[in-house]
Amino acid sequence: DQQVKQNSPSLSVQEGRISILNCDYTNSMFDYFLWYKKYPAEGPTFLISISSIKDKNEDGRFTVFLNKSAKHLSLHIVPSQPGDSAVYFCAAGMGAGSYQLTFGKGTKLSVIP
């Protein structure tokens, strides 16, 4: 039973356009969400997070939106760059101070020059 779902295994976007990566979750106890970026042969690196008390968090070209009623979050990258090509993981956690995360399967983003 997957509690965090990324239903698109891959996404291709033209350079300069917007990339939108989606994530759904089923456990209403999750209260914070993170996006990680992973290059081949490397561990995931933290990208951006959002607490359940917010509906949007922005950091440069990256914005995460949270829709609690729909149990859905999305990561927007604009403008997309070839260096953004990687696998993006959505992760969720619960409880302040808890580092345990539940991950989605990941979405492989390819940004085409």
CA–CA separation, 2 and 41 (whole Å): 25
Positions in 71-90 near another protein (CB under 8 A) = 89
Instruction: Name the nearest CA neighbour of 40 among 102, 110, 104, 113.
Output: 110
Interaction of residue 57 with another protein, rule CB under 8 A? no
**24 touching another protein, by CB under 8 A:** no
Dist CA 43 CA 66 (whole Å): 25
Among 23, 24, 30, 44, binds another protein (CB under 8 A): 44
Single out the residue of 103, 83, 93 nearest to residue 36, CA to CA.
103
Segment interacting with another protein (CB under 8 A) among 22-30, 58-66, 72-80, 95-103: 95-103
Instruction: Catalog residues that contact another protein under the rule CB under 8 A.
Output: 2, 4, 9, 32, 34, 36, 41-46, 49, 89, 93, 96-106
